[in-house]
């Protein structure tokens, strides 16, 4: 995203807008606590008349309504995190899911001017016609139908005007609010709002790069090259930029339109099986999958009976090192091997802070047992994966972002399959892949390759071992070998020892004063006041004060 300085007046107005919307829904304390309110002139601020009425709604409903009212950046934030049950409570996730279809058309948008600005030439030089009314609208862009000079029907996906500037200014405010929440709200700290906004900044930055989306489309097409069951839209790079994509218009039937499929003599149950097979192939074979396979993004081409996925802005990539672990995770889960499942989760995870290992084992075993005790025709993967996400959240296991995209994608695609065929069961589609994974694990080719890699590693170790030994011996001879030894808890031990020694010194001084004062009193050492030696009396008073101080210090530090 391009870096630039937001004009101060615009920044203040945006802060004021956010403040007033938060006040409207009863969240004004967020900005007050963060100190942002001090930056905004009082003329911009004021109580909102709807606050009292809105407080009758639940907290999560009000959060969703705040995002809707604040516009594209905030709606996109809600959409991206509507599948993050590892970070957010399920009730909030359910509200955020309502933002998926929230995208009004732009008012007074001059599509001709936008295209001319992007391509730096007159639209008539490239297109026979361009529809002024959009086919669809999203939070970051909208789509218009057009026709090229050669007669090809295309769609133009155009970013909303000044969307980068809006997002840039909104991100500044989001970061301030996230820091305020993390600082002042114990409940919010558990959700790590600062990390959420950092992740969002990365995601939305990638989605705004249309050149990246074109790369994704072409990579997806290459993965399925030669597969007659799928069609991938053609991208016209000569009429595209980083803010404009020109691609083939798909004249097909949405997978959700079962009546139209039947009218075209296409079996919805066959579409369900093929569509889900293609999706599982993306995950388990290619490691590059569509992260948002909702019905609006999957079409069926009636003439060729092919499946066509659309919108490649949000894709998930499985790291090569994780691809085998992902297959093993599926196998161990199905074999009810809880310990190996946990080991693989820890291997894949970006962060683990498991408070109780036994509880995690019990949670996973309960989940797996629930699946194995259910008749195969009644198994629904969606609820299982949602429960799996809850187990991860409760046991503080954070997996890579692509894993949550993958879980969400499988839940959505299973829903699409059941919509097409009420008897559809995704586990039947998974069986061939589990068999393939097992055969691959024990194939001679894999065993040979694995042992060859180990042999190469051993050979490299043998090759470098003499040099490493010489290097160590040279450092020993030169006196440059440094052994780093870390004492954990040494500072605390040092502090405790210092306190004990100080108190012991005070005790010795008190004892010496008491003994000395007693000798002075017994000897009736002058000067005397009412027959009592003055120096002895002063000694006793000092002893009493120091003794009282030590007793108070012990009680105050709970060291008694």
Could you give the angle at which helices 268-281 and 401-420 cross, rounded to 10 degrees? 170
Most confident range (mean pLDDT) of 233-237, 341-345, 446-450 is: 233-237
Mean per-residue pLDDT, 77-94: 73
User: Residue 69 gets which letter from DSSP?
Assistant: H
The answer to whether 120 touches 98, Cβ cutoff 8 Å, is no
CA distances in angstroms from 525 to 229, 530, 531, 533, listed in the order given: 113, 13, 10, 6
| Band (560; pLDDT cuts 50, 70, 90) | very low
Burial of 413 (0-12, 13-18, 19+ CB in 10 A): buried
User: In the predicted model, what is the mean pLDDT of residues 114-141?
Assistant: 91
Alpha helices in 25-71 (DSSP H): 28-34, 51-54, 59-70
**pLDDT tens digit string along 394-421?**
888 888 878 888 888 888 888 888 888 8
- What is d(CA 401, CA 350) in angstroms, rounded to the nearest whole number? 9
pLDDT the model gives residue 239: 96
The whole-number pLDDT of residue 558 equals: 52
Quickly state the pLDDT bin for 308 (edges 50, 70, 90): very high
pLDDT at 435 over 80: no
Check residue 9 and give its pLDDT. 65
Segment 276-297 mean pLDDT = 89
In this predicted model, what pLDDT tens digit does every residue of 500-556 receive, in sequence order? Answer: 777 777 777 777 777 877 777 777 777 777 777 777 777 778 877 877 777 777 766
What pTM does this model have? 0.66
Taking residues 390-396, report their average pLDDT: 83
**For the chain, percent of residues with pLDDT exceeding 90:** 21
State which of 220-229, 376-385, 423-432, 452-461 shows the largest mean pLDDT: 220-229
pLDDT tens column, 173-198:
788 777 877 776 666 666 667 777 88
Tokens 């027959």 map to which residue? 531
């Amino acid at each position: 995203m391009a870096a630039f300085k937001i004009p101060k007046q615009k920044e203040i107005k945006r802060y004021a807008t956010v403040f007033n919307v938060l006040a409207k829904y009863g969240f004004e304390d967020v900005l007050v606590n963060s100190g942002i309110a001090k930056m905004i002139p009082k003329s911009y601020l004021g109580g909102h008349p709807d606050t009292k009425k809105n407080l009758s709604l639940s907290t999560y409903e009000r959060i969703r309504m705040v995002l809707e009212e604040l516009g594209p950046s905030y709606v996109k934030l809600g959409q991206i995190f509507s599948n993050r049950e590892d970070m957010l409570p399920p009730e909030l996730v359910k509200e955020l899911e309502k933002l998926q279809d929230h995208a009004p058309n732009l008012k007074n948008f001059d599509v001709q001017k936008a295209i001319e600005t992007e391509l730096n030439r007159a639209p008539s030089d490239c297109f026979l016609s361009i529809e002024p009314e959009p086919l669809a609208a999203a939070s970051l862009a909208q789509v218009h139908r057009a026709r090229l000079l050669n007669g090809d029907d295309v769609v133009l996906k155009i970013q909303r005007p000044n969307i980068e500037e809006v997002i840039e200014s909104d991100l500044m405010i989001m970061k301030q609010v996230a820091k305020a929440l993390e600082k002042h709200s114990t409940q919010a700290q558990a959700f790590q709002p600062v990390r959420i906004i950092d992740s969002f900044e990365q995601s939305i930055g990638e989605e705004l790069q249309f050149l990246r989306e074109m790369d994704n489309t072409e990579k997806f097409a290459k993965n399925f090259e030669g597969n007659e069951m799928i069609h991938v839209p053609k991208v016209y790079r000569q009429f595209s930029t980083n803010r404009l994509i020109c691609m083939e218009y798909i004249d097909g039937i949405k997978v959700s339109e079962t009546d139209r499929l039947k009218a075209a003599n296409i079996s919805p149950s066959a579409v369900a099986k093929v569509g889900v097979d293609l999706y599982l192939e993306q995950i388990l074979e290619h490691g590059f999958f569509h992260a948002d396979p909702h019905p609006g993004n999957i079409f069926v081409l009636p003439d060729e009976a092919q499946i066509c996925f659309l919108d490649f802005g949000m894709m998930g990539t499985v790291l090569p090192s994780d691809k085998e672990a992902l297959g093993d995770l599926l196998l161990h889960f199905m074999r009810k091997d809880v310990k190996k499942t946990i080991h693989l989760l820890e291997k894949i995870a970006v962060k683990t802070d498991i408070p109780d290992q036994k509880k995690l084992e019990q949670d996973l075993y309960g989940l797996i047992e629930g699946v194995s005790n259910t008749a195969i025709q009644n198994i629904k993967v969606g609820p299982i994966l949602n429960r799996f996400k809850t187990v991860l959240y409760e046991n503080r296991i954070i997996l890579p972002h692509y894993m949550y995209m993958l879980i969400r994608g499988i839940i959505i695609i299973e829903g699409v399959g059941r919509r097409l065929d009420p008897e559809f069961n995704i586990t039947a589609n998974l069986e061939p892949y589990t068999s393939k994974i097992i055969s691959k694990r024990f194939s001679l080719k894999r065993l040979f390759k694995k042992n060859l890699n180990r042999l190469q590693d051993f050979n490299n170790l043998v090759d470098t071992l003499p040099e490493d030994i010489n290097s160590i011996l040279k450092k020993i001879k030169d006196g440059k070998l440094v052994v780093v030894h870390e004492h954990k808890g040494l500072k605390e031990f040092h502090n405790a020892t210092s306190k004990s020694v100080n108190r012991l010194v005070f005790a010795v001084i008190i004892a010496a004063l008491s003994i000395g004062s007693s000798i002075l009193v017994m000897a009736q050492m002058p000067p005397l006041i009412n027959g009592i030696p003055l120096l002895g009396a002063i000694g006793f008073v000092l002893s009493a004060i120091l003794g009282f101080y030590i007793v108070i210090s012990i009680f105050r530090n709970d060291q008694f």
